[in-house]
């Protein structure tokens, strides 16, 4: 069992207090590197979720809103607490997610960056008077908190994803009811433990509920006291939330699946492209929504690029992230592992060749999937159509710019994309043609707190990060004054 001063309670947090879990229902949390149960966490009832919503409602202040200074202080305190406890929060994250310790601790810094960014830009949410005087009135625009927000996060970035949402919600003055993924609730408990000890937020401003997604999701969708849901996860669940909130016309911020194209032109710096692909693709073991999922390489450089990639991949180490400097940890669970295996098998059966990694029949019985490269991928293969969410690099060939833009867009998703070329005009054309919310040019980097990030098409609605993200939890209200 995991021991930590940040995990003294393994229950929910409602109205400024840890819940007592009277009914005693719990669920198990596993370390994917060992397969062992490391904690048993309270599974909460519908009544408790409704109590969390009520407590959020009691913390919402409309007629005498929390000042910008007060909200800035909450954000700064959370930022500072995360930075001061980066090692321990990262250790907990590593043990329940499996990603290498340095990545887990890096994620805590990344999370702190969102609170920092919102604290520095919160002034943008202050009211302003517009310079014109239409209709003989003086017009003031206020940014009102939308109300109690439901924040639902996935397991792949246990602290990063909540930081994106919570920083903007608090900046707006919105109380929240937060539901982490059941694979990774411990990092969230650690965050609540830090907020409990190191911030002076009113009771009910942040509430933690854990347990069955169906119970919690239903309560959040049905409550008239929750006007907004911010969700990161699968497109399937995102669609369900759209349907389940349609009746009440709730505001939704959705960051859903991806199927990122990574395009390498023949004029690209192939070493830089290979280095960036490795850093992008194998982060979190390939389990991120911005990981390259289809690698399109110009036919003239495909063999050379494949060799560079294989040389790098063959040097990568796979193992328990807690024991030093491994490059890739285990996949999150058996279903995740089986999906990657199915994608490799399907690609090989349909004619792709294995450039690096193991054949499906050579794989072991744990959750450690070796980094794998396959060549000769086409659109009939599962790895082209679906997000693999694992350490598989599927390479396809292309000949022309038009052809590769069309192929890149040949998916319902539109989250992240990447293009490597030394021709600036071509890069601009390709970025403009790709219907993705993010298009890295000669970089495999993903989102950052300072810039808006989000999806086009079925990858979602809304943005997180940057000024656009800061405005997600407010509603503009105009007050024209006649006399």
Q: Which residues bind ligand ADP (CB under 6 A)?
A: 152-155, 179, 181-182, 213-214, 217, 233-234, 237, 240
How far apart, in whole angstroms, are the C-alpha atoms of residue 6 and residue 108? Answer: 14
Point out the catalytic residue in the list 88, 107, 183, 255.
Answer: 255
Of the pair 85, 230, the CB lying nearest ligand ADP is at 230
Is 255 designated active site? yes
Of the pair 74, 155, the CB lying nearest ligand ADP is at 155
Of the pair 171, 237, the CB lying nearest ligand ADP is at 237
Of the pair 233, 321, the CB lying nearest ligand ADP is at 233
Is there a contact between 1 and 38 (Cβ–Cβ < 8 Å)?
yes
Residue 83 CB, shortest distance to ligand ADP, in Å, is: 26
How far apart, in whole angstroms, are the C-alpha atoms of residue 159 and residue 182? Answer: 14
Cα end-to-end distance, the chain, whole Å: 67
- Residues sharing a CB contact under 8 Å with residue 177, sequence separation 6 or more, in sequence order: 49, 52, 53, 56, 148, 149, 150, 151, 207, 209, 220, 226
Of the pair 258, 394, the CB lying nearest ligand ADP is at 258
Query: Residue number with the shortest CB distance to ligand ADP?
Result: 217
235 backbone dihedrals φ, ψ, rounded to 5°: -65, -35
Is there a contact between 83 and 69 (Cβ–Cβ < 8 Å)?
no
Residue 178 CB, shortest distance to ligand ADP, in Å, is: 10
* Structure tokens given for 278: 């490795």
Q: Let me know how many helices (H) and strands (E) the chain has, helices first.
A: 15, 22
Residue 120 CB, shortest distance to ligand ADP, in Å, is: 29
Residue 377 CB, shortest distance to ligand ADP, in Å, is: 23
Whole-angstrom CA distances from 435 to 96, 238, 260, 287, 406 are 34, 19, 11, 22, 10
* Structure tokens given for 254: 């959705």
Residue 56 CB, shortest distance to ligand ADP, in Å, is: 17
Is the dihedral angle over the CA atoms 357, 359, 362, 364 positive or is it negative?
A: positive
Catalytic positions, please? 255
């Amino acid at each position: 069992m995991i021991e930590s001063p940040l995990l003294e309670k393994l229950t929910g947090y409602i109205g400024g207090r840890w819940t007592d879990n009277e009914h005693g229902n719990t669920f198990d949390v596993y370390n994917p590197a060992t397969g062992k149960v490391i904690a048993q966490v309270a599974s909460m009832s519908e009544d408790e979720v409704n109590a969390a919503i009520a407590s959020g409602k009691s913390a919402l202040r409309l007629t005498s809103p929390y000042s910008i200074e007060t909200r800035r202080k909450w954000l700064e305190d959370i930022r500072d607490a995360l930075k001061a406890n980066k090692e321990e929060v990262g250790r907990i994250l590593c043990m329940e997610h499996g990603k290498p310790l340095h990545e887990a601790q890096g994620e805590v810094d990344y999370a702190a960056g969102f609170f920092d960014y919102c604290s520095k830009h919160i002034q943008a949410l202050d009211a302003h008077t517009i310079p014109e005087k239409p209709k003989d009135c003086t017009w003031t625009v206020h940014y009102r908190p939308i109300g109690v927000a439901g924040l639902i996060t996935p397991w792949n970035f246990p602290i990063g994803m909540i930081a994106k949402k919570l920083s903007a919600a608090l900046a707006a003055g919105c109380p929240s009811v937060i539901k982490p993924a059941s694979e990774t609730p411990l990092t969230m408990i650690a965050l609540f433990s830090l907020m409990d000890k190191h911030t002076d937020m009113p009771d009910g401003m942040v509430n933690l509920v854990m347990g069955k997604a169906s119970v919690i999701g239903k309560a959040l969708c049905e409550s008239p006291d929750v006007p907004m849901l911010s969700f990161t996860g699968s497109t399937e669940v995102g669609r369900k939330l759209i349907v389940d909130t349609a009746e009440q016309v709730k505001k939704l911020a959705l960051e859903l699946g991806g199927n990122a194209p990574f395009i390498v032109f023949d004029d690209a710096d192939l070493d830089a492209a290979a280095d960036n692909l490795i850093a992008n693709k194998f982060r979190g073991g390939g389990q991120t929504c911005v990981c390259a999922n289809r690698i399109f390489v110009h036919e003239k450089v495909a063999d050379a690029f494949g060799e560079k990639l294989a040389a790098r991949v063959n040097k990568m180490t796979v193992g328990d992230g807690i024991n030093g400097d491994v490059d890739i940890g285990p996949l999150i669970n058996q279903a995740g592992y089986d999906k990657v295996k199915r994608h490799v098998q399907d690609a090989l059966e349909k004619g792709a060749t294995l450039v690096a990694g193991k054949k499906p029949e050579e794989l072991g019985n744990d959750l450690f999937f070796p980094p794998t490269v396959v060549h000769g991928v086409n659109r009939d293969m599962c790895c082209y159509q679906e997000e693999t969410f694992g350490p598989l690099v599927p390479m396809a060939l292309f000949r022309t710019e038009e052809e590769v833009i069309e192929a890149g867009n040949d998916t319902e998703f539109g989250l992240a994309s990447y293009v490597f070329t030394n021709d600036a005009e071509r890069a601009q054309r390709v970025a403009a043609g790709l219907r993705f919310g993010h298009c890295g040019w000669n970089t495999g980097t993903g989102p950052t707190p300072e810039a808006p990030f989000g999806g086009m098409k079925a990858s979602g609605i809304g943005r997180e990060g940057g000024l656009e993200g800061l405005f997600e939890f407010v509603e503009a209200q105009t007050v024209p004054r006649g006399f």
